[in-house]
Amino acid sequence: MPIVVLATLTQSSRCGFMCTRYYRICFFIPINSINSSSIMSSEVSVSSTLVNPILSHQLGATSQVQLSLDCTFPGTTQEVSSRTAMLLVDAMKSIFGLSPVLDVNQQLGDVGALAVVGTSQGHHLTVKVLVKGVATIDLCLQVPCSESHIMPSDVAVSKCEKAVTDVIQQTISAANASMTTKLYPAFVRTGRFDTCIPTADGLQIQYDFDELVFHEQSPYQDVKILHSQQFGNMLLLDNDPNLAESDLAYTHAIMKHGEVNYEGKSVLILGGGDGGILREVLKENPKDVVMLEIDQVVIDAAVKHLRGICGDAMDSLQGDNYQVLVTDCIPVLTKYIEEGRTFDVVLNDLTAIPVTTSPQGSNWDFLRLILNLSIGVMHADSHYITQGNGFNMQNALAMYEAQLAKLDTPVTFTTVRKRFLCNACIDLYIMFSNDFELTVRFTMLYFCGRYT
């Protein structure tokens, strides 16, 4: 049976972000910089010095170099697994010049052996060898971020691969070893601001943020604006990317731009504190627009730092044909229902569908309430457009659609999907268009894996 070894070594990214999938935590700690004199022995050569656009703005932060190797081989004994772990540790210490202050080799009952090495510099090495024929090696080197970083050459990777193969063949007498190496982009774990955003479907996205433009905790949420070299200033609410200055496609999608006629129409916007929807709707010459946004901090931050999204639309909160009310939308919607006021288009930019195992809890209650209230301010030919969630969140989306049969106003609907790309989330968005009975048109905006 052949030996199969997978070696993964992180490397500098060629673009401003990366997506990887979590399998083991150790897979995703970066190569940021390496001091060859203090970390590597003279046996390991250095190929080049690279400039990383992400790391250059994280000066002074501590980050990590991660080298992970996974090996499968024919099953063995407890004694051999323990010896194999010790030899693998010795090989890694020699290649990378590690001087341990902690060196532990522990048997894991009758299933295998675990070896752990730690140094005074904060580096650590973990080797696990199981009798069933699995070995994992994780080497983590603590290093500072810098404007440039030294990357181990192919010689370093080859030495690790050869060392593992030699040890396995020596202790287990397995022949025909084969090995595959994969290099991953740089991954920043620490710094002056967070560059990594997890998604609902288990992906990790790293952005090319280079400046924290604005940060304030409002009475309702944590409000951040970070600058991306690719996408411009980006709004994050509770550390969730909402919109970047380059995301006109998102605004046009939630408006059904080019499909819904706004000219001479009465429009209600729920949320939308970044001002993007308001700005684009006003370009369509509507009869009147009411925007209900609860968070003044978001509005003020957008006016100052998100001009690429809102333009001058919110420089004044009231104009000839629009009004921005900084208030909770629920009492206002209740008031409009009592007055019999209706709108031709209702745009719900409040929140996404929760990713949960069942449609229970305060978030689901809120969504059902908003949907019921929104239908109360619509007439027979009104359009209702709202966010959904990620395309991969099929269970959550199905639960949301199931709620439509339980509304105060009975509805039926059909679905049409449209796709577009949102830069802030680096996601493929899906637009769901639905027709309610009584010809009330309902549209849900679904997008790929932002929310948790």
427, 433 Cβ separation under 8 angstroms: no
Alpha-carbon torsion angle 116, 119, 122, 126, nearest 10: -20
- For CA atoms 379, 380, 385, 390, give the dihedral sign: positive
Return the SS3 of 133.
Answer: coil
Angle, vertex CA 15, rays to CA 429 and CA 215, nearest 5: 70
**Residue-wise over 298-330: b if at least 16 C-beta within 10 A, else e?**
bbbbbbebbebbbbebbeebeeeebebeeeebe
Annotation marks residue 201 as catalytic: no
Q: Which residues contact 14 (CB under 8 A, 6 or more apart)?
A: 185
**223: β partners:** 216, 237
Token digits for 320? 């000839």
322, 279 Cβ separation under 8 angstroms: no
Element (H, E) at 281: helix 276-282
**Residue-wise over 52-67: b if at least 16 C-beta within 10 A, else e?**
bbbbebbeebebbbbb
* Site of tokens 């449609």: 359
Amino acid in position 36 = S
**326: β partners:** 293
Strand-by-strand arrangement of the 18-21 sheet: 18-21, 203-206, 196-198
φ, ψ for residue 336, nearest 5 deg: -60, -40
289, 227 Cβ separation under 8 angstroms: no
* Burial (CB count within 10 angstroms: exposed 0-12, middle 13-18, buried 19+), residue 342: middle
Nearest-Å Rg of the Cα atoms of the chain is 28
Of residues 208, 274, 349, 427, which has the active-site annotation?
A: 349
Alpha-carbon distances, residue 211 vs 135, 303, 310 (angstroms): 41, 18, 20
Q: How far apart, in Å, do the first and last CA atoms of the chain sit? A: 43
- Rounded CA gap, 32 and 191, in Å? 12
**138: β partners:** 68, 126
Catalytic residues: 349
